[in-house]
Amino acid sequence: MSTVEISHISKSFGSLKAVDDVSFEVEKGEIFGLLGPNGAGKTTAIRVLLDIFKPDHGIVSILGGPMTESKKDRIGYMPEERGMYQDIQLDRCLVYLGSLKGLAPAEVQRRITGYLQRFDLVSSRHKKVKELSKGMQQKAQLITTLIHEPELVIIDEPFSGLDPINTQMVKDLLRQQRDKGVTILMSTHQMHQVEELCDRIVLIDHGRTVLYGRLDEIRRQFSGHAVIVRTPDQLPALPGVEHVEQHNSSTYRLNLMPSASTQDVLRNLVERGIQVDQFEIAAPTLDEIFIRVVQKDDQEQGER
Amino acid sequence: MSKFWRIAYHEYSRHVFRRRFLLALFSVPLVMVFMVVLIIVIIRMDSNPTPIGYIDHSGLLANSIPQPAAKWPERTVPMRAYTDETSAKADLQAGKLQVYYIIPEDYLQSGQAVQIYLKEPKGIATQQFDAFLTANLLANQPAEIANRLLDGSNLIVQSTDKSREASQDRFINILLPLLAGILFIVGMSTSSGYLMQAVVEEKENRTMEIMVTSVSPGQLMSGKVIADIAIGVTQLLVWAIFIILALVIGKNYIPFLSGLKFSGEMVGVIIAVMVPAFIMISGLMAAVGATVSEGSEGQQIMGLFTIPIWLPYILIAVFIQHPNSPLAIALSFFPLTAPMTIALRIGFTTIPTWQVIVSVIILVLSAIGAVWLVGRAFRLGMLRYGQRLHWKEIFSHQRV
């Protein structure tokens, strides 16, 4: 059974349709990417999922059924709008928010020490939250998301405001959580992070699902009939190749005729004694797919 | 401990154990104590213990008895008899007397005496000489007549059914509901002000989403409501302890306070009116907190509610003269003005039972309405960062 099942949900605010018939499932123990341009409806979808907003239509199932009060203790949520009580000390804030996840304050106190060490926040534990830098507050927020060892983590833009070292640390942390069996739903714009971390994604735009499935399948679906070849040799004319684009001094993109197969192209290269350093199917990056899909969707929306 | 109590404790402790709150809490009683000390010091300074002299030509003070001892903080002034004016005058000039009196032979007929001083004596001193003279004039009268005359008159006005009475000595009983009303409203304003702030703060700190995904909106709001009521009650309790102490101590020295008496009926009516009023106003303030995006904006709207709450206090003169006028009755039925109006009227009149019942029913319905309003405003407005929620949206059919 999936950890999260969203089935045909819609939510409007006045005349604005923020989410329109969106469906997806998040499997247990995976890192799932919820993608979309600004204003696509990602945050609204997350809020509906967490029962902050009631959907106008559709069904949400989380951890095996509708949201309940007791399930809140099994979910860790880091919203896009980072929120901490600015006017109190960091450790007091963490203990309070942790205790609202069903832990005894003494237990929270014991757990935060480890996290503060890991996140390099020990020296700031008695400082007021407002005295911490944005990055530090972001890390503190992550502690509140994970301290109660949730089964499901929903995290909106986990890397915003983090330097490369902390970004790497958060990535390691998310992988670690996944390895422990935690399900992670991550919403972000940073496509290369999604490519590194996520197994499956859903891309929504204008409130609607425009892409959904396994990341490798989606990339295959979007790959054109082309190969990337890296070689120090000069490329001769090859049968089945329609057009050659040179990317740099040694890398070429070979656009193939519809009838040609990639296997034939490789065989031809080898037979001609060309040194092949790299030969791969030209799959687009997630960034390219994202731009292509969103632009197409924008055009369609414009035509309507 | 349930989440509800954790929220309540967090909310309570972070306000009450703050220096700013403690300062405000104790500043009022401290100012009161300071005023009392100041009054005592002034009385002590005004009551000059330098003797008062007299030359008695009438013979009325031949075997004089001393005047009743002055009550603290006043000091008793010794009376000194002189046989001739020359020595009295010499002592006055030497500063051994503050004033001396010449009682003429025909004093009983004329009632006139001569007062001689270098610097006009304070009223406290001359009152003691009057008391000395009166005590001696009545010395030969039977004790009960003497005491009767010394006690003076006390006019008591009674209602025809004798259920209520007012007198000069018990004037404090008229002021009591008024004072209770003011105190209650101050406490209520404190609580509801904190409540509004508490709701706005969650928005300002962007913690609302984390809160509502950790606890239910009901737990969140009730935890805050209980905590903020407790803050108001803490404040009232500390002030009430000081006031009661002041009254108990003051009762012994200030005759004005000696008629102090609590009426069960009065206390009952005030509580019946104030409890739903408290819930209603707290609900309205929390709703304001849920609709605005910043605390300062909320303070302005809060001011609009505060004016009608205090309006009856401004109209106090009208209520004293006509406590049962149509205006007074109308204001007793308007939810925001009712608590103060009832508290004021009850001191000056017997409010017909039906009016109290109607007022309480209106207040209870308003309280229910306010709780509904805050629930809706909260769900609709909780995630509006930097954007106001319009009142018409609350009453729209939007699903929350």
User: In chain A, what are the domains?
Assistant: 4-219 (3.40.50.300), 224-281 (3.30.70)
Cβ-proximal residues to B72 (8 Å cutoff; 6+ apart), any chain: B253
Provide the CATH number for the domain formed by B47-152 in this structure.
3.40.190
For helices B353-381 and B217-251, what crossing angle results, to 10°?
140
* CB of A140 closer than 8 Å to CB of A112: no
Cα–Cα distances in angstroms (integers) from residue B108 to residues A20, B111, B130, B146, B215, in the given order: 106, 6, 14, 17, 86
* CB of B40 closer than 8 Å to CB of B246: no
What is the mean predicted confidence (pLDDT) over A215-225?
Answer: 83
Instruction: Give the dihedral sign, CA A124/A126/A129/A131.
Output: negative
For helices B353-381 and B264-291, what crossing angle results, to 10°?
20
Give residue-wise pLDDT tens across range A23-72.
999 999 999 999 988 888 999 999 999 998 889 999 999 999 999 999 99
Put simply, the answer to whether A100 touches B399 (Cβ < 8 Å) is: no
Averages of pLDDT over each 10 residues, chain B, 400 residues: 89 87 85 84 86 92 85 86 93 93 92 92 88 88 84 77 67 72 79 83 84 88 84 84 77 62 77 88 85 80 85 86 90 93 84 93 93 81 68 68
Preferred mutation among A46, A52, A108, A142 to probe B, highest tally of B CBs within 10 A = A52
Lowest average pLDDT, out of A183-192, A289-298, B203-212, goes to: A289-298
pLDDT of residue B31: 85
Put simply, the answer to whether B210 touches A88 (Cβ < 8 Å) is: no
Preferred mutation among B2, B14, B18, B205 to probe A, highest tally of A CBs within 10 A = B205
Predicted ipTM > 0.85: no
* One-letter amino acid for residue B344 of the chain: L
Contacts of B7 in chain A (CB under 8 A): 100
Reduced to 3 states, what is the DSSP secondary structure of residue B79? strand
Domain coordinates in residue numbering, chain B: 47-152, 166-394
Contacts of B399 in chain A (CB under 8 A): 54, 56
> Which residues does A contribute to its contact with B (CB < 8 Å)?
47, 50, 52, 54, 56, 69, 72-73, 75, 77, 79, 81-86, 88, 96-97, 99-102, 144
Cβ-proximal residues to B86 (8 Å cutoff; 6+ apart), any chain: none
pLDDT of residue A154: 96
Q: What is the 3-class SS of chain A, one letter each residue?
A: CCCEEEEEEEEEECCEEEEEEEEEEECCCCEEEEECCCCCCHHHHHHHHCCCCCCCEEEEEECCCCCCCHHHHHEEEECCCCCCCCCCEHHHHHHHHHHCCCCCHHHHHHHHHHHHHHCCCHHHCCCEHHHCCHHHHHHHHHHHHHCCCCCEEEEECCCCCCCHHHHHHHHHHHHHHHHCCCEEEEECCCHHHHHHHCCEEEEEECCEEEEEEEHHHHHHHHCCCEEEEECCCCCCCCCCEEEEEECCCCEEEEEECCCCCHHHHHHHHHHCCCCCCEEEECCCCHHHHHHHHHHHHHHHHHHC
State the smallest CA–CA distance between residue B350 and chain A in angstroms.
50
Confidence of residue A21 (pLDDT cuts 50, 70, 90): very high
Cα–Cα distances in angstroms (integers) from residue A187 to residues A37, A42, A174, in the given order: 11, 7, 13
> CB pairs under 8 A, 24+ apart, for A117-123?
A118/A169, A119/A143, A119/A169, A121/A90
- Token reading at B56: 């008695």
pLDDT of residue B71: 77
- How far is residue B400's CA from residue B398's CA, in Å, rounded to a whole number? 6
Give residue-wise pLDDT tens across range A269-279.
999 999 999 99
Per residue in A92-110, is it b (16+ CB within 10 Å) or e — as a string?
Answer: bbbbbbbbbbbbeeeebee
Cα torsion A231, A237, A243, A245 to 10°: value is 30
pLDDT of residue B344: 85
